[in-house]
Amino acid sequence: MIIGVPKEIKTHEYRVGLTPTSVRELVSHRHQVIVEKGAGTGIGATDAVYEKAGARIGDPWEAELIVKVKEPQGPERARLQERQVLFTYLHLAPDPEQTEGLLRSGAICIAYETVTSPR
C-alpha cells in the first residue's frame, strides 16, 4: 500500500501523522510512504530523517491511504479522491461543512476517535 503523510495546515498544529519510527515499521512491511516536504518540522524530524527511515519526500495526496492528525481543511478535502482512505481525527458532529465535503469526495474516512478496539 502507498501511504501519504501530509504536512498539517491547521493553525498551530505541529504534530504529524506518522513519526520516522512509524515510517520505518511500515516500510519494513513493504509499504511505500510518501511524506510531504517539511511535514515533520513541528516534531523536529527533518525530511532527511524521514528519507533515512525509508520514506520518499513528495506529494502525499497521490497515496491510497492518507494519515493525518487534524480534520482535513477545505483545500485538503478538495484533494481527496474516491480511491483513497483518510485516517485522522474528524470531529464531524459540530462541522457539517466538513461532513458534506468528505461525502462529496467519495473517500473512505476513518476517524481516530471512533476506533475503540483492535477488532
Q: Is 72 in contact with 91 (CB distance < 8 Å)?
A: no
Q: Which grid coordinates belong to 47?
A: 525530511
d(CA 98, CA 77): 8
Q: In this predicted structure, what is the pLDDT of residue 64? A: 98
Query: What are the tens digits of pLDDT across the range 12-71?
Result: 999 999 999 999 999 999 999 999 999 999 999 999 999 999 999 999 999 999 999 999
pLDDT band at 110 (very low <50, low <70, confident <90, very high): very high
pLDDT > 90? residue 117: no
Q: In this predicted structure, what is the pLDDT of residue 91? A: 86
3 state SS of 4: strand
DSSP E strand stretches across 1-117:
2-5, 32-35, 56-57, 65-67, 85-88, 108-111
d(CA 113, CA 119): 15
Q: In this predicted structure, what is the pLDDT of residue 118? A: 80
